[in-house]
Amino acid sequence: MNLITTEELDATLEEYDAKLPKIDGIKSILWKTTNQCQVLLNESAAITKPVKITGAAKRFTPNGLFYLEYLSFNGTSPRLANSLTVIVKPVDAPIFTLKLKSNKDTTFSFGFVRKFCEWFEIYSTVSSPKPLLTKINVYGTDSVQLTNFANDIEFIIHSRDNFESIKEELKKEITDSTTKHIALTEQNTELNRTVTTYHLELNRLEKLLENSQTQLQEESSKLIQLKLEANHAEERLTSASNNITQLQETSDELNKNISVLNSELKKLTSDKNLISDEYGPYVKEGSSQAKVYSALMTIPLAAIFFSIYQLYAGASKLLATENQSAIEILAAFILRIPFAAIFGVAIYYSWKIASAMIQRVFKIHSDRLTLAKLLVVARETVHSSAKNLSITDHEKFQEQTSLKIEVLKSHMARDLNEGFSYKPVPNQKQTVKEASAEASPEAVNDELVPQDLRSPA
Helix (H, G, I), strand (E, B) or coil at 347: helix
- Residues 76 and 51: their CA atoms lie apart, in Å, by 10
**Bigger pLDDT: 177 or 434?**
177
Maximum C-alpha span of the chain: 158
Percent of the chain with pLDDT over 90: 3
pLDDT in tens, 12-62: 666 666 655 555 556 677 788 887 888 888 766 556 688 888 888 889 988
Residue 61: which H helix or E strand, with range?
Answer: strand 58-62
**Bigger pLDDT: 6 or 144?**
144
- Residues 84 and 97: their CA atoms lie apart, in Å, by 11
The pTM for the full model equals 0.33
* pLDDT for res 121: 92
Q: Which of 5-19, 168-182, 184-198 has the lowest mean pLDDT?
A: 5-19
Question: Per the omega criterion (within 30 degrees of 0), is the bond before 129 cis?
Answer: yes
**Bigger pLDDT: 267 or 122?**
122
pLDDT in tens, 81-139: 888 899 999 988 899 999 888 877 778 888 888 888 999 999 988 887 888 888 888 88
Helix (H, G, I), strand (E, B) or coil at 21: coil
Which residues have a Cβ under 8 Å from the Cβ of 206 and sit 6 or more positions away?
none
Q: Name the residue among 413, 402, 428 with its Cα closest to residue 274.
A: 402
pLDDT in tens, 360-406: 888 888 877 777 777 777 666 666 665 656 667 777 777 777 777 77
**Sequence spans of domains, the chain:** 24-157, 280-385+393-413
Q: What is the DSSP string of 319-343?
A: HT--S--HHHHHHHHHHHHHHHHHH
CATH topology of domain 24-157: Jelly Rolls (2.60.120)
